Amino acid sequence: MSAPPSRVYAARLVGLPVFDPRGDRIAKVRDVVVTIRTLARQPRVLGLVAEVGRQRVFLPMTRVTTIEGGQVTTTGLLNMRRFEQRSTETLVVGEILDRTVTINSSQVTGTVYDVALERARTRDWVVSRVAIREPGKGLRRRGQTHLADWDEVSGLAEPDERQGATHLVAALNEMRPADAASILHDLPVERRTAAALTLDDERLADVLEELPEEDQVQILEHLDDERAADVLEEMSADDAADLVSDLPPETAELLLDLMEPDEADDVRRLMSYVEDTAGAMMTPEPVILGPDATIADALAHVRRPDLTPALAAMVYVCRQPVEPPTGKLLGVAHIQRLLREPPSNLVAGAVDKTTEYLHPEASIDEVAAHLATYNLVAAPVVDEDRRLLGVVTVDDLLDHMLPANWRERTDQNRGVRRD
């Protein structure tokens, strides 16, 4: 068994896969846990915060056997109890990056963008050095960097009211929205807010969709009204409707008035339906084409990178207008059928006219039964005139069927051993 390298950098560990001795991938690294005692003594590295599915667990450094080749290998034993940070513990990515510090010998001031972890003679891992970047000057966007010993830097042990979120946000931008949301959720409120405000509108919208409702509202309350409206416009209409419904009525109406009229109309329409019905949970932005569109047109639309797999699974062929509520729905075309047809053929010739439709008042149980009965990942929702109002996807359904706190729920007694 080879030993871990003598020095690694904390920020570069984030996102690395964790493997057991058999080569099975069991987790991903999300942060590094250290304990800061005094500036005279190097902080001891206690372990890693690892993510298994949607759950964050603690991986002691004593369980780490190798860190090399872009991966972490463990002894195979994981305690699946949810990670709970203690008062004596500090998260490197969540709390140390972006702190403003000073190098004592040169009086250079800058922000922390990484820390070096080294194995001491005692075999314990410690924080040995701090990577610091000075502010940019003049036309230089990025300032000079320095690597200083831990005991040569002041400002690390005390809370920093000036702490930004530049380097934390850089790490979040490399993650999938659900993973970034998991990191944000576990940060202190002030740090979470600072990081969220630094994300651009589109990225913040993606992450908000993955956060619990309380976190969504808390972050939105710290945005100015104009930016809050811009972020809501970037969100899926159904997710935006759920979030706006959780706001005080006067705040909700103000933000809807600031949104683009078309975007606000979609949100208002979804909010008008009874909670936990097909109308309330549907997505009003499926792939809709007119009867004169070709198979090639349809395939081009389902290739859009912003579409979820469920929305890309079917194309909805409607008479004009092709914005919900549309003209009469003529039928749906499944992606498997489209791939077998000549690209020049009309998409109307490939529709499945046997598909059963949902009505907006259908209950959540009726929606679930419908998708299960017909083996669908999405189903159209129509009004009494068979105009397409939107589409309920299987992920929309799960979002409403799972408990409100499903992103946080864990079984504290559950454990796993991998030998």
Sign of CA dihedral 264, 269, 272, 277: negative
User: Could you tell me the pTM of the whole model?
Assistant: 0.68
Domain ranges (residues) in the chain: 7-93, 96-154, 176-272, 288-401
Q: Which amino acid is at 82?
A: R
Q: Where are the alpha helices (DSSP H) in 210-319?
A: 213-221, 225-234, 237-245, 249-258, 261-271, 278-281, 295-302
B/e letters for 315-336, b = 16+ CB within 10 Å, e = fewer, are bbbbeeebebebbebbbbbbee
pLDDT reported for residue 40: 62
Average pLDDT score over residue span 393-402:
86
Please determine, for residue 140, whether its predicted confidence score (pLDDT) is greater than 70. no
Count CB-CB contacts under 10 A for residue 75.
16
Nearest to 161 by CA among 135, 131, 181, 191: 191
pLDDT interval class at 418 (50, 70, 90):
very low
Which contiguous run of DSSP H or E holds residue 66? strand 64-68
Q: What is the mean pLDDT of the chain?
A: 87
CA-to-CA distance for 77 and 64, rounded, in angstroms? 10
Q: Which CATH number fits domain 288-401: 3.30.300.250, 3.40.50.150, 3.40.630.30, 3.10.580.10?
A: 3.10.580.10
Residues in the chain: 419
Q: Which residue has the higher pLDDT, 348 or 1?
A: 348
CA 81 to chain centre: 22
Residues 238 and 268: beta-carbon distance below 8 Å: no
B/e letters for 217-237, b = 16+ CB within 10 Å, e = fewer, are bebbeebeeeebbbbbbbbbb
Q: In sequence order, what are the beta bridge partners of 82?
A: 57
Q: Rounded to the nearest 5°, which phi and psi values hold at 316?
A: -110, 120
pLDDT reported for residue 141: 65
pLDDT reported for residue 41: 77
* pLDDT tens per residue across span 152-197: 998 887 666 566 677 778 878 878 888 888 888 878 788 888 888 8
* pLDDT tens per residue across span 14-56: 889 999 998 999 999 989 999 987 666 788 999 999 988 778 8
With 0-12 / 13-18 / 19 or more C-beta atoms within 10 angstroms meaning exposed / middle / buried, residue 414 is exposed
DSSP state of 340: T
Residues 97 and 113: beta-carbon distance below 8 Å: yes
State the fold for domain 176-272.
MgtE N-terminal fold (1.25.60)
Residues 362 and 370: beta-carbon distance below 8 Å: yes
pLDDT reported for residue 322: 92
* pLDDT tens per residue across span 351-396: 988 888 999 999 999 999 999 999 999 999 999 999 999 999 998 8
CA-to-CA distance for 317 and 289, rounded, in angstroms? 5
Provide the terminal-to-terminal Cα distance of the chain, rounded to the nearest Å: 15
CA-to-CA distance for 91 and 142, rounded, in angstroms? 25
CA-to-CA distance for 382 and 350, rounded, in angstroms? 20
CA-to-CA distance for 96 and 159, rounded, in angstroms? 9
pLDDT reported for residue 316: 96
CA-to-CA distance for 63 and 76, rounded, in angstroms? 8
DSSP state of 411: -
Token reading at 351: 């529709």
DSSP state of 345: S
Which contiguous run of DSSP H or E holds residue 192? helix 189-198
Q: Which residue has the higher pLDDT, 85 or 289?
A: 289
pLDDT interval class at 79 (50, 70, 90):
confident
pLDDT reported for residue 192: 87
| C-alpha distance from residue 95 to each of 33, 39, 416 (Å) | 10, 16, 29
pLDDT reported for residue 402: 77
Q: Which CATH number fits domain 7-93: 2.40.340.10, 3.40.50.2300, 2.30.30.240, 3.40.630.30?
A: 2.30.30.240
Residues 39 and 154: beta-carbon distance below 8 Å: yes
Nearest to 278 by CA among 382, 356, 360: 360
CA-to-CA distance for 28 and 19, rounded, in angstroms? 9
CA 106 to chain centre: 40
